[in-house]
Amino acid sequence: MGAVELLFLLALLLKAGGKLPGTGLAVPSPSVPVPGPAVDPGRAPAAATAPAPGQASTPSQARAQTQAAKAPLPFPQAVPGGLPPFPSAAWKSFVPTPAAVSIRAQQLLPVLWATGAGTKKQEQTAGVWTTYLATKMGATGQIKGVTAWKLVSSGVAV
């Protein structure tokens, strides 16, 4: 094939808009990338990213946050004078934790942490006197949490 024939083929390709005459097949150009298939943004897979602060990372955490947002805040309560001091042997960890106590702990999270770790609030939740304590959690203490403590014996007169 001579130079004249090669120029003739190139002219035909250019005239046909980059398609081989009679075939409809496009000839890719090495300088222009070939586009991939079109992706519908509505059907594109979601990017794997961490949730924003304050957003749930698990379905159970999302349910707890939803319940906490829907639950009415309790009225301010007067703590009875006969309530033992906290911390003391009169209090134990509230395990298993009832749903009402978990919801209230979620509601108190920003309130207690506005002052910092060790801040406490005592109130009656689900008929039990409970102390909520702002506590650093996690292996490095970077997670802000609230722990719940209940009276060992609830013989407190209200």
Q: What is the pLDDT of residues 13-57, one digit of tens each?
A: 666 665 555 655 565 555 656 666 666 666 655 555 555 555 666
* 40 contacts: CB under 8 Å, gap ≥ 6: none
Domain count, the chain: 1
Residue 141 lies in a domain: yes
Residue 94 lies in a domain: yes
pTM: 0.54
Residue 40 lies in a domain: no
Residue 123 lies in a domain: yes
Residue 20 lies in a domain: no
Residue 43 lies in a domain: no
Report the alpha-carbon distance of residue 31 to residue 149 in Å, rounded.
Answer: 69
Cα–Cα separations (whole angstroms), residue 125 to 11, 82, 93, 95: 86, 17, 14, 14
Q: Provide the domain limits for residue 97.
A: 80-151
- Mean model confidence pLDDT for the chain: 76
Task: Give φ, ψ of 110 to 5 degrees.
Answer: -70, -30
Residue 12 lies in a domain: no
Greater confidence, 114 or 158?
114
Residue 56 lies in a domain: no
Report the alpha-carbon distance of residue 85 to residue 74 in Å, rounded.
Answer: 22
Q: Which two tokens stand for residue 115?
A: 């002052």
Q: What is the pLDDT of residue 59?
A: 78
